[in-house]
A and B are shown apart, each in its own frame.
Chain A
Amino acid sequence: MTVAMTMTEKILARGAGRESVRPGDLVLANVDFAMGHDLTIPPAGKIMREQMGAEKIWDPDRVAVTQDHFQPAKDAASATLGRLTREFSHDMGIKWYFEVGQGGICHTVLPENGLVLPGELVVGADSHSCTYGALNNFATGIGSTDLACVFALGELWFRVPETLKFVYHNRLREWVEAKDLILYVIGQIGVDGARSKAMEHTGEALRHIDMEARLTMTNMAIEAGAKNGIMEFDDVTKQYLDGRAKRPYQPVSSDPDAEYEKVFEFDAEKVELGVAKPMSPDNYAPLSEVAGTKLDQVFIGSCTNSRITDLRRAAAVLANRKVASGVRLIITPSSHQVAIQAEKEGLIGTFLAAGAAWTTATCGACLGGHMGVLGEGEVCLSTTNRNFPGRMGHPKAQVYLSNPAVAAASAVTGVISHPSEVLEKMPAEIR
């Protein structure tokens, strides 16, 4: 008799070479793809070579490395980390190394290059590696010692998580984006509401949103403490991967009688535009509650909300308008490919004409690295994922999280604003 399993359990069972696994099982599983970046490769490389005594990595074709967190180097020490990352990637013959100016933020670069695929077991030495799960895989964040282990052996230990199922009925309303939905969900369950568990997202609302919006949702699984976020394979997934996927893949689905620890049901139509208030991603409030809050900086960037569809919506709001006096707007595309596309579509011209600072693709201000670090007492509206004290700079800076259209509109008015105050209607083709 076969055991009914969730998608997450099936992927871990396959990786472990077992017929089935149960939540709570500890397994050693083969990894299909691994990722590291300029902050996590230097320690991982050192641990692997100097401490573990491994000379080669298990499969250089299944590893990606990005120069994104503190690159282009923000100071001399970051340049050293960049150099160590570059040298390690070269020495190991890593196939998917993305240099400054050619890659961008890991969690945009890997999906857009078709490197993380349905049914796969993916690990990344970055907490937002859970992003890839929108593409129907098991993807989770790991540490540098973990990554060194994967490099040396091609396998890693996992505790099979319990799965929480999130069902979204009906469709999101006008103006309301995937970001609003996931902020609402995290507000409901809390920053440890899914601690060490799998978040499986499903339901009608998801069928009507594109892959980039889905990636926004799985990106924030870690903000509820989850091990991974995962979605079903459908036509949207297939179309996104056609022409991108670098390997053949095998989609996976949950059995109808799979066991869930808990099932949450939401009516997507009732979700409003919202924000996370300082100082925690679960500090949800409807936009109306914080409308009028005065801003010093607006940041549109990060692996959460700075892909091409996000920039299109921001540009629609900013077209023929100006950033309000007293506010600075910083726009950081999440990858070089996104920047190229934005250039083709004329979005960059729109941003520059509006008075926005347009930067190269990097994590930048999101983690208080560079190009938009906040000072004491400053207030920022940001399309990023985390607003714990000090995340974007000074511990007394205040960060609100929102979707890109709200961010763009608020840059125009200088205070937190509904985009309909600035733009009558979001064009249907870019919603």
Chain B
Amino acid sequence: MTLPKVVRGRAWKFGDNIDTDQIIPAKYAIYSLDEKELGKHAMEGVPARDTWASQVTQGDILVGGSNFGCGSSREIAPVAIRGAGVSLVIADSFARIFFRNAINMGYPILQSPQAAEAIEEGDELEVDLEQGVIRNMSKGDEYRAEAFPKFMNDLLRMGGLVPWVRKQLEERRRRGAAVPR
């Protein structure tokens, strides 16, 4: 699965330091292998957002504040958000494990303090993932996202760490190297 070029959707706005136990409370970790079930409970731990997942329309965009996804390393955090139907997460900044989990899954995320501050709940967004440009159709604004290092971009574009590892394994096999090393 490769990345779409342009994503359009309606914004859902969240605050700073939304941690993984709010994104998907640990009790739902029993559904670790079931993305759809996780999606039903996405953001349920955020105060006053316990029915959020049922209001999401496929393709909506989640906009978080600073340090989004802090806390646990459980990959079910980005998996639950994707499972809820969210096409893209934009934040002022991401906590590192959430950040790498999203990249490894080939799930699009963008870091843009400007966008995180200006976008309001319900705004219609059009995001050019290749250019890193976020257009706010409701406000007529445009924001730039920070560019990622090349390797991370390459991972995102090829669909994450899975295809990358497959390629590495193929190369090792071709070289006749013992697999694993």
Contacts and interface: CB of A to CB of B under 8 A. Distances in A.
Interface of A: 24, 26, 39-40, 42-43, 46-47, 51-54, 56-59, 69-70, 75, 77-78, 80-81, 124-127, 129, 141-146, 148-149, 152-154, 157, 159, 191-192, 195-196, 222, 225, 227, 280, 367-369, 386, 388-391, 395
11 contacts: A43-B75, A54-B169, A70-B30, A143-B73, A152-B169, A153-B180, A157-B151, A195-B93, A196-B96, A368-B26, A386-B71
A126 B71 CA distance: 10
B100 interface: yes
B118 interface: no
Nearest to B77: A143
Interface in B32-77: 32-33, 45-47, 50, 66-67, 70-76
B165 to A, nearest CB: 5
A418 B160 CA distance: 51
B105 interface: yes
Interface string B111-129: 0000000000000000000
Given A192-B17, A195-B96, A280-B17, A368 B168 contact: no
Given A81-B30, A191-B17, A390-B25, A53 B73 contact: no
Contact of A127 (B33, B97, B165): B97
B105 A145 contact: yes
Nearest to A369: B26
Given A144-B75, A368-B25, A391-B21, A39 B100 contact: no
A39 B99 CA distance: 19
Contacts of A227: 96
A143 B77 CA distance: 10
Interface string B151-165: 110010000111011
B22 interface: yes
The 10 closest A-B pairs by CB, nearest first: A77-B30, A192-B67, A58-B180, A143-B101, A143-B75, A145-B104, A141-B73, A390-B45, A127-B73, A196-B96
Contacts of A24: 149
Nearest to A386: B71
Given A46-B33, A70-B30, A191 B161 contact: no
A367 B93 CA distance: 25
Contacts of A75: 30
Given A58-B180, A141-B73, A143-B75, A47 B33 contact: no
Given A26-B149, A154-B181, A127 B72 contact: yes
A40 B74 contact: yes
Given A127-B72, A388-B19, A391-B26, 5 more contacts: A153-B181, A154-B181, A195-B95, A196-B99, A222-B71
A394 to B, nearest CB: 10
Contacts of A144: 74-75
B33 A146 contact: no
B180 to A, nearest CB: 4
Contact of B104 (A80, A124, A143): A143
A281 B165 CA distance: 36
Contacts of B164: 149
A8 B135 CA distance: 40
